[in-house]
Amino acid sequence: MATATHPVDEMLPAPKLLTLGLQHVLVMYAGAIAVPLIVGRALQLAPEDVAFLISADLFVCGVVSILQSLGAGPWFGIKLPVMMGVTFASVGPMVSMAVANPGPDGARMIFGAIIGAGAIAILLAPVVSRMLRYFPPVVTGTIILIIGVSLMRVGINWIFGNPVGPTAPKLVDPAHLAWFEAVGATLAPPPGAALAPTVNNPLYAPAQNIALSAVVLAVIVGIARFARGFLSNVAVLCGIVVGTAIAAGLGMMHYDKIAAAHWFALIPPLHFGTPIFDPVLILTMTLVMIVVMIESTGMFLALSDMTGKKITQGNLAAGLRMDGLGTVLGGLFNTFPYTSFSQNVGLVGVTGIRSRFVCVAGGAIMIVLGLIPKMGALVESPPTVVLGGAGLVMFGMVAATGIRILSRVDFANTRNNLFIVAISIGFGMIPLVAPSFHIWLPHAIAPLIDSGILLGAIAAVVLNMVFNGAGGTEAELREAAMAGGEH
């Protein structure tokens, strides 16, 4: 008698596979393109290089999703329906590195740190799969809340303009500058002397930009409120599309980069040159990877329950190794650390389709999109203000997911949990409120402490051990993952 095929291993007809795979791609698309846009612009790369980062990200998203869902031997891949994407947990540390080291050299440092951290993550996977007790909901919820709060600054700056550079709120008064130059011609000013900006910058927070972001936000809210099923899951993507169309009508779009981009191009590894392997940066990204793998563990356990396919400790380690291998591939192919996307885990529950081959099809679609440079150029071309309203939703949803996980925590009978959350959020806010707090500390440790996400995560883990010991359970991590939300 033939053994029945488990729904996870069921091969669906090709048309259905492609339709459901496209559904997964659309659900994750807005989140997938956000990180290369953020990091590329923090590095001050040329628009064509940012477009390349987007294409590389889509390509590697597809490759890693296929490997995770299909499996690569007994050592890599969870073999469940998983779509992989760049984790928002890595954004804070990478932006700090980018601001300190802009340009291609900064990119090489980031990719070197990612490759190193990915390799270490492969080795740590079996250990991390046994570290669940250190990450109960009070820890994971607090970390995800801090990730969302830290990223909100990015979305707000997309709306109003960056506080430095051409869109800085204040400019130097031209009259003052003329006076300063006239005086400097006869009397040399002291070294480092400069005029303070005092005049309002018309490029900062113009009413047109605020109105456009508000329209994008209104479209997202409207679709989320009134649409049903799949359409409500792609509300953010719909908002960006509508905002882009309006920006084009207002003459805010430039099409020269899109026209110049090719229809097809391979993604070359090491596009920016040989990676730079800095030990402190690698350690920084390794700490991020530990947090990422704990989150992935929760997703895998949740998927196991949803699909009815039990996973062993070995399966779990194989899935986490794939996170590490995906991150190594990300660094080699000019992109970032990868994890399972919670939106897609939620979509498995919504559709009831448990076949892992759906995510294999979704991965193939992502690869095709990554090999079309015009797609990357198109995504890069809208003004950042279009992404502003969407950014508030995406990053706010990350914070809201953290709050939702914390709602499951017992604060009434275990008051110490309040201290864990309160102090950890305080640590996470330090780099946002006082970005120069480490000026008198050793420069070498700056990457470690310059990210509120890492500071908050370390504080949450340590404080939980102080107050509660190591008492987290597999069931609690599964429940936290089921809370869903943006990654």
Average pLDDT of span 132-152: 86
Report how far residue 281's alpha carbon sits from residue 344's, in angstroms, rounded to the nearest whole number: 30
Angle at 27 between CA 24 and CA 29, to 5 degrees: 100
What tokens appear for 224 in the block? 């989320």
Q: 382 vs 347, which has greater pLDDT?
A: 382
Kindly indicate the confidence band of residue 283, based on its pLDDT and cuts at 50, 70 and 90: very high
Average pLDDT of span 357-363: 92
The pLDDT of residue 441? 86
4-45 pLDDT, tens digit per residue, is: 788 888 888 888 888 888 888 887 887 788 889 889 988 999
What tokens appear for 210 in the block? 């605020």
Contact 481, 298 (CB under 8 A): yes
pLDDT(279) > 60: yes
Average predicted confidence (pLDDT) for the chain: 86
The pLDDT of residue 477? 61
Report how far residue 60's alpha carbon sits from residue 330's, in angstroms, rounded to the nearest whole number: 6
**Residue 79 counted as domain residue:** yes
Kindly indicate the confidence band of residue 438, based on its pLDDT and cuts at 50, 70 and 90: confident
The pLDDT of residue 1? 43
Q: Which residues contact 458 (CB under 8 A, 6 or more apart)?
A: 287, 427
* Most confident of the ranges 43-52, 223-232, 254-263, 475-484: 43-52
The pLDDT of residue 193? 74
**Residue 475 counted as domain residue:** yes
Report how far residue 406's alpha carbon sits from residue 54's, in angstroms, rounded to the nearest whole number: 33
What distance, in Å, lies between the first and last C-alpha atoms of the chain? Answer: 44
What tokens appear for 229 in the block? 């099923």
| Other C-beta atoms lying within 10 Å of the C-beta of residue 474 | 13
The pLDDT of residue 480? 59
**Residue 429 counted as domain residue:** yes
| Other C-beta atoms lying within 10 Å of the C-beta of residue 36 | 26
The pLDDT of residue 203? 85
Backbone torsions φ then ψ of 310, nearest 5 degrees: -70, 145
320-331 pLDDT, tens digit per residue, is: 999 999 999 999
If phi > 0 it is left, if psi is from -120 to 50 it is alpha, else beta; for residue 353 that is beta
Q: Which domain holds residue 331?
A: 9-167+204-482
Burial 100-131 (b: 16+ CB within 10 A, else e): ebeeeebbbbbbbbbbbbbbbbbebbeebbeb
Contact 177, 195 (CB under 8 A): yes
Listed in sequence order, the DSSP H helices in 101-251 are 104-128, 137-160, 174-186, 207-226, 230-233, 235-249
Q: Which amino acid is at 393?
A: V
pLDDT(117) > 90: yes
**Residue 180 counted as domain residue:** no
Average pLDDT of span 137-163: 87
The pLDDT of residue 286? 93
Beta-sheet pairing, 338-340 with 84-86: antiparallel
**Residue 2 counted as domain residue:** no
Q: Which residues contact 437 (CB under 8 A, 6 or more apart)?
A: 430, 431
Least confident of 76-80, 116-120, 130-134, 357-361: 130-134
Contact 27, 234 (CB under 8 A): yes
Contact 421, 138 (CB under 8 A): yes
Listed in sequence order, the DSSP H helices in 264-383 are 279-307, 313-332, 342-351, 356-370, 373-380
Report how far residue 213's alpha carbon sits from residue 389's, in angstroms, rounded to the nearest whole number: 5
Q: Which residues contact 240 (CB under 8 A, 6 or more apart)?
A: 30, 216, 382, 386, 387, 390
The pLDDT of residue 314? 85
**Residue 374 counted as domain residue:** yes
The pLDDT of residue 39? 92
Report how far residue 280's alpha carbon sits from residue 389's, in angstroms, rounded to the nearest whole number: 35
Q: How many domains does the chain have?
A: 1
Tell which residue, 330, 303, 335, has the closest CA to residue 316. Answer: 303
Contact 285, 117 (CB under 8 A): yes
Q: Give how far the C-alpha of residue 260 lies from the chain's centroid of Cα atoms, to the nearest Å.
A: 28
Q: Give how far the C-alpha of residue 365 lies from the chain's centroid of Cα atoms, to the nearest Å.
A: 20
**Residue 332 counted as domain residue:** yes
pLDDT(460) > 70: yes
Contact 93, 288 (CB under 8 A): yes
**Residue 172 counted as domain residue:** no
SS (H, E, C) 54-78: HHHHHHHHHHHHHHHHHCECCCECC
365-405 pLDDT, tens digit per residue, is: 999 999 999 888 888 788 888 888 888 888 888 888 889 88
SS3 144: helix
Contact 347, 233 (CB under 8 A): yes
